[in-house]
Amino acid sequence: MAGREPAAADQDRFAAETARFRPELLAHCYRMAGSAQDAEDLVQETYLRAWRSYAGFEGRASIRSWLYKIATNVCLSAVAPRRIRVLPSGLTGAYDGPDRPPGPVAPGEVAWLEPVPDRWIAAAADDPAATAVARESLRLALVASLQHLPARQRAIIILREVLAFSAAETAQILGTTAAAVKSGLQRARARLDEREPEREKLLEPADRRARALLDGYITAFERADPALLEQVLRTDATLEATPFREWYAGRVKCLHLLGTHVLGAPGDWRLLPTAANGQPAAAVYHRDEGGSLHAHGVVVLTPTSTGIVRVVEFHDPALPALFGFPDVLDD
């Protein structure tokens, strides 16, 4: 809502009323955009617009709803004209061709989904129950599926089913009718069910079984030992990595690819445990020819009570810094 430019004296009041919503707005913008970096930019734009119109905000809605209206419309303006962010499994079926290392997609050809640090989730919720809901809504598979929805449907299902806004509140945020919200929600649910008809029960990152699987994966990678990987991967495990188009289904194929083309020698890799998208993860480092360990990316695991069912590695040297890790490790 446009209005007179707020006076400098309003700054403290604006900060006091709006700052506490920043973490949940970051999570919201990430669900919409599929990129942590984009989410930070979108929240920055949200607060700039909110500040400019703060003098005209007269409490006719809650401050939270007002901020979500601004943030959602900032996201819709930003994401609607762009290509959706995807994972390799969202592009094509599992690779079943001749043995060869996967080839990277040409730079700029695909917009890749990115992981988000788990600390964003904890910061976005103020109690254990809310944290559990936030974590569930940021699972990697769900965020990837959300990207395949039209932007407005994506906004509707997030506002209604993640953030628990009513149909009337959602309609007000989106500038539409409650009937249109209900119709959009039905279509969004149907499309999500087509992509992921049965959501498997995952272990929480703090669950000792999840930590044991993460520790086993890290040990196997650092020792370059496919036999140890076999102990933590389920028989139906999948493996994918950006920026590669090919992805692999089945433990046998995953182990063959890793053992033949990735693992190398013991000590080539160093993995540091963390959490991303409500799932166990690790910052990944690779040893260069000079012997230094440089940031390589982040790997996110999908753990179940019967083993790891999905491995997604994001090959982006900038990602470990987002998770609070250095660019180069001391050996």
CB 316 within 8 A of CB 285: no
CB 75 within 8 A of CB 155: yes
CB 223 within 8 A of CB 232: no
The pLDDT value recorded for residue 147 is 94
Q: Which SS3 state, helix, strand or coil, does residue 48 take?
A: helix
Residue 324 CB neighbour total at 10 angstroms: 11
Residue 127 CB neighbour total at 10 angstroms: 8
Residue 40 CB neighbour total at 10 angstroms: 16
* Rounded Cα gap, residues 291 and 268, in angstroms: 9
Instruction: Phi first, then psi: give them for residue 329, nearest 5 degrees.
Output: -100, 145
The pLDDT value recorded for residue 128 is 62
CB 149 within 8 A of CB 188: yes
Residue 299 CB neighbour total at 10 angstroms: 25
End-to-end CA distance of the chain: 54
* Rounded Cα gap, residues 118 and 127, in angstroms: 15
* Rounded Cα gap, residues 138 and 132, in angstroms: 10
Question: Which DSSP state fits 59?
Answer: S
Reply yes or no: is the peptide bond before residue 243 cis, omega within 30 of 0: yes
The pLDDT value recorded for residue 1 is 42
List the one residue out of 202, 198, 205, 75 whose CA is nearest residue 147. Answer: 75
* Rounded Cα gap, residues 139 and 142, in angstroms: 5
CA angle 32, 176, 75 (to 5 degrees): 20
Give pLDDT tens digits for 11-61.
888 988 899 999 999 999 999 999 999 999 999 999 999 999 888 886 667
Domains of the chain plus CATH, in order, are 1-81 (1.10.1740.10), 208-329 (3.10.450.50)
* Rounded Cα gap, residues 84 and 147, in angstroms: 6
pTM of the full predicted structure?
0.91
* Rounded Cα gap, residues 248 and 241, in angstroms: 10
The pLDDT value recorded for residue 327 is 97
The pLDDT value recorded for residue 56 is 80
Residue type, 212: A
The ranges of the chain with pLDDT < 70 are 1-9, 58-60, 122-132, 197-198
